[in-house]
Homo-oligomer: A and B are copies of this chain.
């Protein structure tokens, strides 16, 4: 039998998918974590995920695990961002995992429906700075996912995936500010989305949001337009010459 033909001659790995589900609530970037029930890393916080099955693609595995572990059936965004195969990343050995980034506006509401005791949203900043410890190499995976999300905000319609079908411009701005950990000028932000005559990033609905309780003029509600896919996001990430905020 020629070399390379029989696949059984080669080392076998378990393949998993791990899902980074991001959300922005009150201007804070959050990630959905679950508390592990089994060894290893029992009772530690971890990214939701699970084993790929032989009869499904990686994308299908990611969507299945997302549905099974969080109840999210149709995420507004899901995309692969990296694969991890360090031999020491799982004490059980030989586990290669593929990371997926998922975004959906209703994470908070959906979580209330599932068993909330072993799953909750954590501020990403707390996890990345070590205040919350994650199992396996999930902190590294989370960091990569956030980095990818920050980059995709600038080149796709990812920001709108954090919000519902209609949203206010300040809600959209808070998404950018939370993911980029930077402040944007309100007036310039509005101009970049509304001004252009031929491009349509947001379409006015004519309706207004409910007043926010803290006073202030009720903002107009917009829906996502069609220009995102062609030209990417009109909002540019500030290139600070010195320090960020």
Contact = CB atoms under 8 A, between A and B. Distances in A.
Interface of A: 2-7, 10-15, 37-39, 51-58, 61, 80, 82-87, 90, 92-96, 98, 151, 155, 231, 239
27 contacts: A2-B38, A5-B39, A6-B92, A7-B90, A7-B92, A7-B94, A10-B51, A11-B15, A11-B51, A11-B52, A11-B54, A12-B12, A12-B13, A13-B13, A15-B15, A15-B85, A54-B93, A54-B94, A57-B85, A57-B86, A58-B84, A58-B85, A61-B85, A80-B83, A82-B83, A96-B98, A151-B155
This chain: how many copies in the complex? 2
Contact of A87 (B3, B51, B57): B57
Nearest to A198: B241
A53 B7 contact: no
A3 to B, nearest CB: 7
Contacts of A54: 11, 13, 87, 93-94
